[in-house]
Chain A
Amino acid sequence: MRAILIDDEISNLENLRTLLEKHCPKVTIMATAQSVSAAVDAIEKYLPDLVFLDIQMGEQTGFDVLKLLPRRNFEVIFVTAYDQYGIQAVKFAALDYLLKPIDIEELINAVNKAEYKLATQIQTSQLDFLLQQLKKTDTHVSTIAIQMQSETRYVTLSEIIRCEADNTYTYFFLANSEKILVSKSLKEYADLLRPNGFLRTHQSHLVNPKYVKSWLKEDGGILLLTSGEKIPVSKPNKETVKQALQRQ
């Protein structure tokens, strides 16, 4: 894989180079860049397969690099020291990211995932989706990217009825009766979707309150959905679910 490393700090570039040379022999480093303009030039010159992109670069951001490129046909692994800025948008776009200081195992995993995507030639528009999300002035998110085995689906939050855990996998149940399986845990989606009002009713269930029809008192607490499905509410979650539904 032909790679370009982008970071405004030289020591970070050196550190990443050392880790890649030692642990990811399939990655060939074509160039490194320390500014947005140098990054754009390097990408247009070398047409890399993979770009390691620092998010915060002085006054500018790694997202600016993407905005300036007419074609974005490469895989990106974001690298960031901050757990906050832009990371939420990256998660909603189901893109890969590493937190500094870089953990070797996480690095190897991310590189393997990129290699798989390149090998299977999955064409995704996740970067376009990410830039659109970042453009929105309000923080309200209405769509989420779901990375499936061979495609990326964009689902609006209002069409998600509920999610159900199957170990480290999650099933999405959509309003058009579709059922999608994703290889991420329900916990990850709960963390992403809770700020958007989704209710964690049970260790295995996440529900969109929009589709709640009523609260049944049987078995200590059950939600009846407009789809007719009954979803259990476990005891630890009872109070929060009740309060959230009353606020609606």
Chain B
Amino acid sequence: MNKNEIDNANKYLSKFARLTRNVLDEKELISLSQEKTLLDDYLQMEQLRFGFKYEINHSEDLDLENIEIPSMLLQPFVENAVKHGISKKATDGKINITFIKKANDLALTVTDNGNGFDTEKKNNGLGLLLSESRVALLNSIYKENRFTLAIQSATNGTKVSLTLSDWL
């Protein structure tokens, strides 16, 4: 804004507003395309600060407009990928997000090439703990569908996989 980049300022302000509205909105379910837009908005804003690269990919045969998922499902993992994953790597940082159709399952993954963390350690931060409780809560609501959370982390990166069994 101070450099008179008015169009850019406008772009980020309206993205930020859209993200905030979504967080504050009480909608339980959003479409995959809305989720993609929000992650895009968020990552573009963080990109301004850290300059990493990112990609959001999905299976060709996924109907993004019409498949719904609980809102804010991936956001905390993507925030972790930025904050703990690639924030120290500047332009070498890379985040990959995928929405994959595996038969009737929907697999969502967030991968970063940061330094990883010890998945066994208990005090890994509140975000992860809250996400685990959220998954447990979702499993009690959607009885026949299992939400499975798997986290693999090594010194060359972290991969979070969230599988929604029999979702499609």
Contact = CB atoms under 8 A, between A and B. Distances in A.
Chain A interface, DSSP helix/strand/loop, else mixed = mixed
A168 B66 CA distance: 8
A83 B66 contact: no
A178 interface: no
Interface string B134-168: 00000001111100000000000000000010111
A99 B21 contact: yes
A101 B168 contact: no
B145 A235 contact: yes
A233 B150 CA distance: 28
A165 B143 contact: no
Given A165-B63, A235-B167, A236-B167, A101 B145 contact: no
B57 interface: no
A104 B143 contact: no
A76 B167 CA distance: 40
Contact of A185 (B66, B143, B145): B66
A83 B21 contact: yes
A235 B166 contact: yes
Interface string B12-29: 011101100100010100
B11 interface: yes
B7 interface: yes
Contact of B66 (A100, A101, A165, A236): A165
Contact of A187 (B21, B31, B168): B31
B167 A101 contact: no
A101 B65 contact: no
A185 B21 contact: no
Given A200-B68, A203-B68, A236-B164, 13 more contacts: A99-B21, A101-B17, A103-B14, A104-B11, A106-B14, A165-B63, A185-B31, A185-B66, A187-B65, A204-B63, A235-B145, A236-B142, A239-B142
Interface of A: 18-19, 83, 99-104, 106, 165, 167-168, 185-187, 191, 200, 203-204, 234-236, 238-239
